[in-house]
Amino acid sequence: MSTQSTPPSEITNPVTALILSAVTCNLYELFVWWPNRLKTINALLGRDEFKYGTILMLSILTCGLMYIYYDYKTAEAILEIRRKKGLAGSESLPLMTVIMDCMALTFITSYMHQEEINKLV
Q: What value does the mean pLDDT of the chain take? A: 93
Residue 10 has pLDDT above 80, yes or no: no
pLDDT score at 105: 95
User: Which residue type is seen at 24?
Assistant: T
| pLDDT of 4 above 70 | no
- Rg value, the chain, Cα: 14
Is pLDDT at 29 greater than 70 in this prediction?
yes
List CB contacts of 76: < 8 A, sequence separation 6 or more.
94
State the pTM of this model: 0.89
* Mean pLDDT of the region 4-27: 85
Q: Tell me, what's the pLDDT at 88?
A: 87
- Compute the average pLDDT of residues 96-101: 98
Residue type, 31: F
Measured in degrees and rounded to the nearest 5, phi and psi for residue 48 equal -90, 75
Task: For residue range 30-79, list pLDDT tens digits in order.
Answer: 999 999 999 999 999 999 999 999 999 999 999 999 999 999 999 999 99
